[in-house]
Structure 1
Amino acid sequence: MTKQFNQLVPYERIEGHNIPCRRKSLSTSCGMNIRMDEDDETSLRGCCSWCRQRFFTKEKLKRRFPIVTWLLKYSLLDLRGDLIAGLSVAFTIIPQGLALAILAGLPAQYGLYTSFIGLFVYALFGTVKDVAFGPTSILAILIAPFVVMGGTTYAILLSFYTGLLMLILGMMNLGFVVDFVSFPVLSSFSTAAAITIACSQMKSFFGIHLTAVRFLPTVVGLLTHLHEINLWDTFLGVVCLAFLIPLQHFRTSSFFFLEGRVAPHSMSLRIFSKIWNLIVTARNAVVVIICGVIAAHTNVFTINTDIKLGLPPMQIPTFSYGFNETYRSPTQVIGDLAPGILVMALVGLLETVAVANAFMPNKKLDATQELIALGIGNILGSFFSAFPATGSFSRSAVNHNSGVRTPLSGIITGSLVILALATLAPYFKFIPKPALASIIIAAVLPMVKFQDILTIWRANRIDVVPYFITLLSCLFIGLEYGIGLGVTFSLLVLLYLMARPRISIVMRKTPCGDVFLYVKPDRSVLFPSVEYMKVKISKAIDSYGCSTKHLSIVIDGEHMFRADSTFAMSVRHMVDHYRDSGFITVFYNLRKAPYRALDVVFLDSEDFIYCEDEEKVYQAIRAGIVKSGISNQSDERDSHPLKRRKSSHWLTSSVEY
């Protein structure tokens, strides 16, 4: 680090003291300016002081470690709410974790490996109490193609690299990237993911053996293997769905079938309400337990046989891949995983943001801190054989409805998952595959929202195009590519709209009768739109038939808040071109940024005419006419060039561009 000391001021007073002290500035190669005492023996003290003030203030520590904020105010009432919520989420995450691992093409126990370490990390770094960190259906289906390529090694490495990317983005304060994913793209991606997930579970639902994971190959495989349907698996799956779907939409507060039979506030009704609420909350666990007991005493259902017992070992992920005669170096592995890493980082943040906005709509979300929490959770999860995870919408809803008070509920849930891994793992092999498939299908059905198409059409018809581009590309190319195409196209639409501002161009007259062309863009004119503005002005001149006679052009910059060098240079060329044609260009009502950009480019040239009010605009137009020796006014008007009526005499023609 190079040092260049430049004296700032002769003397300054140290804060909190009345002692004058000579200070100097340390300019570093990385662009930092550190104020230092002249008596410092080394620059280390100054660097430490700068780092402390920049990164280790009380506010910064509270932001990076949100647990400090709520732990100091923790109460027994909070503990009660967190215990209930943590237990409720545990009943949901254990069966869901098993099912989601199978959805990803992994052994079932990997779903539980993914369901505990992230909860501990999120309790330390997360900002939303309702978020239940863990495996999700969308990430699981995104992982499946990579599991086919590299097995569990690729799934674990996806967790590591996705977490690393999230952490880097968070440290760079890039949480705002989620703002570039529009609602049509997000809605169509969720719908396509739900359809793909439900379709992928049909092979387990019907007892058909398929290896396809994408939508189109799975549909083709199901149609060509209809003769392999296992009727017992199909029957069990239908029964499970018939149990899960109604409970998913049941309102625990209304028991219409008990009205008139039981007193509204009786003890029996309260007991029944609590029992029923427990069944609704733990419906997935109920399905798993009942179906597991039935499968243990029969031999007609397809079950999981490759379940490893016990807790996962803590170990560093293997960054290369080798199987039989195939070897992939760490660099080649990153190349294989790159599309998935980018998409999973984006989708992981989007899911968590969606959960936060759903359950705390009136509170501003710190997306950057969420990126850090998700990143650390996935990195540490990879050391325990976890695949990528994020905030789950379904489990977060259970968490919220159970009365969660703080993120401590995640620690309770994670502890129960570890307990289940240590004690219940031998019994997981009896859980039938169609039961787990029905759990996933019931969970993703609410994600299909075709009614959004009508809303999007009514709001802005052009948004239907990125919706269908995302939907079709996700279904027929792949989810990881579909969302990329959708985001790219929606950004192109956004750039097109930015490059095509609405420019009002009308013919007006001054109080003296001098005609001028009045140009007013409705937004800032930057480099994508400056040529468009020039073309519109040229067309307006041709339309009014003014190309061969003198005309003044007034550009009103009331709505132009920003400007760039391309805009300034293009406007300079335009002004020079119209000057050679005998026209003058007057700028009016400019904001600070456009004025500064134009002033720099024109370099005090007389061609840059700027007026602050209408009176000066009229004077500039008349002066330009007199200077050019051309006038379309009578001698009487020429003798009174500054005679002015009210501003309402900015007469507007009926033509507008």
Structure 2
Amino acid sequence: MGNTDYVYPSENVERTHRVEIPPPQPFIKTFLYTLKETFFPDDPLRQFKNQPASRRFILGLQYFLPFLEWAPRYTLNFFKSDLIAGITIASLAIPQGISYAKLANLPPILGLYSSFVPPLVYALMGSSRDLAVGTVAVASLLTASMLGNEVDANENPTLYLHLAFTATFFAGVFEASLGLLRLGFIVDFLSHATIVGFMAGAATVVCLQQLKGILGLEHFTHGTDVVSVLRSVFSQTHEWRWESGVLGCCFLLFLLITRYFSKKRPKFFWISAMAPLTSVILGSLVVYLTHAEKHGVEVIGHLKKGLNPLSITDLVLAPPHLTTAIKTGIITGIISLAEGIAVGRSFSMFKNYHIDGNKEMIAFGMMNIAGSFTSCYLTTGPFSRSAVNYNAGCKTAVSNIVMAITVMFTLLFLTPLFHYTPLVVLSAIIISAMLGLVDYEAAMHLWKVDKFDFIVCMSAYVGVVFGSVEIGLVIAVAISLLRVLLFVARPRTFVLGNLPNSMIYRNVEQYQNAHSVPGILILEIDAPIYFANSNYLRERITRWIDEEEDRIKSSGETSLQYVVLDMTAVGNIDTSGISMVDEVKKIIERRGLQLVLVNPGGEVMKKLNKSELIEKIGQQWIHLTVAEAVGACNFLLHSCKPNPSKDESSGTWNNV
């Protein structure tokens, strides 16, 4: 683009800065660059550059099997720490696994199976040192809710079990596919506010459903909403068992006290971690010694010994239940991914190391695929178990291997000891764990910082509690997407003013001492210009001009001559946006005004040039900074004016 000159009273002064058009690039090069930035922002191939073939092969193996990277540096001191951490989280994983399997309406033994195979797979493929793998309450509740709408777990337990394996398989395929195809950004649509509300709502529903175990009820609603649960509870007051209620409240109080103590004294974290297993042992002893199972206290009953049986032949891959299994797998897979990756990233920040989100997705996917073949249901990285793992001083993923081996010994030798474990203790364990998911402090923070995020949070909570888990999730995601669309369709525009004694221009609403420049309206567009917002921007710019002219008439100031559009924040523009700029130019010219553009980005300049809009506007009306544009306009206001018969070849203005 050529230089733009201005004619001063006695001399020509060349403009110092100009906005340049980037050199043209081949379409394929631009397309590949955009593709790389969209799907490969972390540039995973950079480590393979300038490496021999043998080294690239090793790096490729390390990418998909991260344990090959840290295993050669593993030391005995690391093992001591991982051994303690692994045994500690196993003491939590065993009772939680049994409890969450019951929550999913699955045989309790599946909770132990799911704490054996998936942790082994994750230890080989996961990139987090602190994540402890296992079943989670929210995914268990989703499984029970979505599969329960299709098949009754009591009437047809075999089909229900097979559908659970199938849903786990499709969850794993979905998770691994997201990682391999670099589509992890899909999970980002679950905003922080959505997760806070959804988790709190799910925790509330889970706690309410545990009233069945606490009160010793045999018949209970299949609905998850609060109305159905409370109606079921209070319509069976004659069925309440005081023995079960007293036992459940005592153990719940014990669990809450140990959690409070460990929270106040972090060095004693192991007290809270051991409390669930201690509750199981004490509860089993109480039932065994008092024969409470004969007085309304339900027990787990027989758990068969032995390791995970294969279930690959049990997958349901044909209609009419295939659609339900796929839908359940995708939804539970998304939720478990969001929770697992968020937990892993949180602890990695504490220890100052990086985890690869796409690697984590592949690891989660492969461990769930392997789990579906070995009688496991959905697993991820739960916060409670990972927090215990972190506090116990784990160094690597070997703590998951230690936990899995501990669970293996339990499956081989100790399962008969759980025969007398009361279900009410499992309910107390679930309630105590779920109370930690109701993060009211985070909700209050949302209210303080961003009211719209608070609305998203509460929508998710209300949808889960009064509707269903799926309804709450859909409502929250829909509102979050609506907000994104509103940001795109209604971008912010500001009037800029000059800060006294400076060349700086800022939003006049934010900076009260910023004053407008006589005869010049300066507007800033704070978003890319697309088809979704081009009409709005045209109307908004026109309205700004109307308001400025009305203000000038009422105040008697210098009449408006120039409209300056600061396009610094306009990173891109499409054909609808280009048409909008052209229409704005015509509207401004019909009013006898001049359009001035400031600092259009490289992509914007390329498209303005290709559409020949730069020639229509005139290169002399495109400036690098607002200060430069205002200076040029001020000079023309006070000493000369534009002449439409400008000599295009010289790029000069005739003096008036």
* TM-score normalised by the chain length of structure 2: 0.78
Question: Is 1:499 aligned to 2:489, yes or no?
Answer: yes
Aligned to 2:337: 349
Aligned to 2:189: 180
Higher relative contact order (CA 8 A, sep 6+): 2
Please show how residues 246-257 of structure 1 align to structure 2 within 5 Å. Answer: 246-251=257-262
Residue number in structure 2 paired with 1:543: 547
Q: Distance in 2 between matches of 1:277 and 1:457?
A: 31
Amino acid at match of 1:291: G
- CA contact 2:95–2:276 (8 Å) conserved in 1: yes
Other-structure match for 1:654? none
Aligned: 1:228 with 2:232: no
Pair 279,625 (structure 1): closer, same or farther in 2 beyond 3 Å: closer
Map 1:124-203 → 2, pairs under 5 A: 124-148=124-148, 149-150=150-151, 151-203=160-212
Whether 2:427 is the aligned partner of 1:437: answer: yes
User: Is residue 81 of structure 1 aligned with residue 92 of structure 2?
Assistant: no
Tell me if structure 1 keeps the 8 A contact 2:182–2:358: yes
Provide Cα deviations, 1:431-472, integer angstroms capped at 9, x if missing partner. Answer: 111011111111111111223332111101222221121111
Shift of 1:96: 0.9
Specify the SS of the correspondent of 1:91.
Answer: helix
For this pair of structures, how many residues does the alignment match? 558
Note the C-alpha offset of 1:567.
Answer: 1.4
Deviation at 1:345, TM superposition (A): 1.7
Structure 1 residue identity aligned to 2:274: A
More displaced stretch, 361-370 vs 374-383: 361-370
Secondary structure at the residue paired with 2:394?
Answer: coil
Aligned residue identity for 2:347: F
- Tell me, yes or no, if structure 1 residue 376 matches structure 2 residue 393: no
Check conservation: 1:343, 1:484, Cα contact below 8 A.
Answer: no
| Alpha-carbon distance in 2 for matches of 1:54, 1:437 | 54
- Corresponding position: 1:446 with 2:436: yes
Which residue of structure 2 lines up, in the alignment, with residue 611 of structure 1? Answer: 622
Which string of whole-angstrom CA distances, capped at 9 and with x for unpartnered residues, describes residues 619-640 of structure 1?
78898743289xxxxxxxx995
Cα deviation per residue 1:495-540 (whole Å; 9 max; x = unaligned)?
A: 21333333224699xxxx9934322223433333322221122112
Question: Residues of 2 paired with 1:83 and 1:514: CA distance?
Answer: 74
Structure 2 SS opposite 1:553:
strand
Q: 1:180·1:491 contact (CA, 8 Å) conserved in 2?
A: yes
Q: Is 2:210 aligned against 1:207?
A: no
Indicate the residue corresponding to 1:592 in structure 2: 602
Aligned equivalents of 1:448, 1:253: Cα separation in 2: 19
Could you state the TM-score of these two structures normalised by the residue count of structure 1? 0.78
Matched, 1:237 2:248: yes
* 3-state secondary structure, aligned to 2:232: helix
Output the amino acid matched with 1:412: V
Tell me what 2:15 maps to.
none
- Partners of 2:489 and 2:263 in 1: CA distance: 52
Percent identity for Structure 1 against Structure 2: 26
Distance in 1 between the 2:393 and 2:597 partners? Answer: 61
Match in the other structure for 2:275: 283
* 1:586/1:620 contact within 8 Å kept: no
- Equivalent residue number for residue 557 of structure 1: 567
Q: Which moved more, 1:432-441 or 1:548-557?
A: 548-557
Aligned to 2:388: 398
- SS at structure 2 position matched to 1:403: coil
Kindly state the Cα deviation for residue 476 of structure 1 after the two structures are TM-superposed. 2.0
Q: Find 1:359's aligned residue among 328, 335, 347.
A: 347
**Contact 1:582 1:628 survives alignment (8 Å):** no
Q: Which amino acid aligns with 2:287?
A: A
1:531-585 CA-to-partner distances (Å, cap 9, x unmatched) read 2221122112333448999844322222323323321232223324444554432
Q: Give, in whole Å, the separation in 2 of the partners of 1:554 and 1:95.
A: 67
3-state SS of 2:277 partner: helix
Query: Shift of the alpha carbon at 1:65?
Result: 1.6
Q: Unpaired segments of 5 or more residues in structure 2?
A: 1-27, 34-48, 152-159, 499-516, 554-558, 647-652
Name the residue aligned to 1:91. Answer: 91
Q: How far 1:302 moved relative to its partner?
A: 0.9
Equivalent residues of 2:518, 2:560 under 8 A apart: no
Amino acid at match of 1:464: F
Whole-Å separation in 2 of the counterparts to 1:186 and 1:317: 35
- Secondary structure, aligned partner of 1:554: strand
State the distance in 2 between where 1:458 and 1:544 align.
34
> 1:430/1:556 Cα in 2 relative to 1: closer, same or farther (>3 Å)?
same
- Residue 330 of structure 1 aligns with an amino acid whose one-letter code is A
How well do the aligned residues superpose, as a CA RMSD in angstroms? 3.3
Match of 2:285 among 287, 293, 300: 293
Runs of 5+ consecutive residues of structure 1 not aligned to the other structure: 1-26, 33-48, 256-272, 321-328, 630-637, 642-657
The C-alpha deviation readout for 1:583-614, integer Å capped at 9, x for no partner, is 43222222212211211222664335442343
Contact kept in structure 2, 1:187 and 1:467, CA below 8 Å: yes
Q: Tell me the distance in 1 between the aligned counterparts of 2:50 and 2:75.
A: 37
State whether structure 2 residue 326 is matched by structure 1 residue 334. Answer: no
Q: Distance in 2 between matches of 1:620 and 1:380?
A: 74
Aligned partner of residue 521 in structure 2, secondary structure = strand
